């Protein structure tokens, strides 16, 4: 293929990532992988597959939104200070507001700077607090496990928060959000292991199911 033909194919790959469901993209990727051995320009074909897997789009979105993040953190801090710790509904609303304000920016400073306040959440509010990390780190697939691992293992600075099954459930949901629309054998195995390791805890199974549903959306993989 000529260079300009490859450039056109790269543009088509970016368009497929933006506009097609992952079932179709995965079929194209599988077809291209089957062509690799016979292809004389393996590097270009590998780059085309990388684009179709969404890795480059995710990286560019994250770089752009992180660089151009103009969220006024004074607003969310004033909301936090005005509601205190007593009203669980307002506490949860503030957590979600922070998630929406910082979605796709990887800016989780508010939760880290107010970790004791965030840890005062109980039950399903703990689920929400942890799940909001998935909103903030949407598309940050390369760092997802290192960010969420403390909630799966029960370690970290706030073991009381992270040992909660609701926090673990929220972490599974967050992992699904980060990997949304990017179904793969490794991610599928992670969620299936989550079911097996849940110990029949319904809250954890709830989080695993939500995460798996988001990752597997439009794959027709029952």
pLDDT tens readout for residues 102-111: 999 999 999 9
Residues in the chain: 222
- Whether pLDDT at 92 is above 80: yes
pLDDT tens readout for residues 5-48: 889 999 999 999 998 888 898 899 999 999 888 888 888 999 99
- Whether pLDDT at 158 is above 70: no
What's the pLDDT at 85? 66
Between 78-87, 104-113, 128-137, 157-166, the lowest mean confidence (pLDDT) is in 157-166
Q: Is the dihedral of CA 46, 50, 51, 57 positive or negative?
A: negative
pLDDT band at 156 (very low <50, low <70, confident <90, very high): very low
Backbone angles phi, psi at 43, to 5 degrees: -65, -40
Q: What is the pTM of this model?
A: 0.85
Count Cβ neighbours within 10 Å for each residue of 24-55 and write b for 16 or more, e otherwise: ebbebbeebeeeeeeeeeeebbebbbebbbbb
Round to the nearest angstrom and report the end-to-end CA distance of the chain. 39
pLDDT tens readout for residues 121-153: 888 889 999 999 999 999 999 899 999 999 986
**Distance (Å, rounded) from C-alpha 139 to C-alpha 22?**
15
What's the pLDDT at 196? 92
C-alpha gyration radius of the chain: 20
More reliable by pLDDT, 73 or 158? 73
What's the pLDDT at 2? 66
Q: Where exactly are the structural domains of the chain?
A: 3-53, 73-215
**Distance (Å, rounded) from C-alpha 16 to C-alpha 200?**
39
- Whether pLDDT at 157 is above 50: no
CB 176 within 8 A of CB 211: yes
User: Average pLDDT, whole number, for the chain?
Assistant: 88
């Amino acid at each position: 293929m000529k260079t300009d033909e490859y450039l056109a194919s790269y543009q088509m790959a970016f368009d497929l990532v933006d506009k097609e469901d992952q079932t179709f993209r995965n079929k194209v990727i599988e077809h291209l992988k089957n062509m690799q051995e016979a292809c004389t320009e393996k590097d270009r074909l590998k780059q085309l597959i990388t684009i179709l897997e969404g890795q480059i789009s995710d990286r560019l979105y994250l770089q752009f939104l992180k660089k151009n993040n103009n969220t006024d953190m004074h607003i969310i801090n004033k909301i936090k200070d005005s509601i205190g710790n007593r009203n669980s509904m307002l506490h949860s609303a503030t957590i979600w507001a922070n998630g929406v304000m910082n979605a796709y920016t990887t800016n989780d400073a508010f939760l880290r700077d107010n970790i004791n306040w965030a840890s005062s959440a109980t039950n399903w509010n703990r689920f929400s607090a942890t799940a909001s990390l998935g909103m903030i780190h949407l598309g940050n697939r390369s760092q997802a496990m290192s960010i969420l691992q403390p909630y799966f293992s029960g370690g970290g600075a706030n073991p009381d928060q992270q040992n909660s099954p609701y926090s673990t459930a929220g972490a599974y949901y967050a992992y699904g959000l980060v990997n949304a629309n990017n179904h793969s054998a490794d991610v599928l195995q992670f969620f299936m292991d989550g079911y097996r390791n849940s110990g029949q805890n319904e809250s954890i199974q709830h989080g695993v199911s939500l995460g798996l549903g988001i990752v597997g959306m439009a794959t027709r993989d029952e």
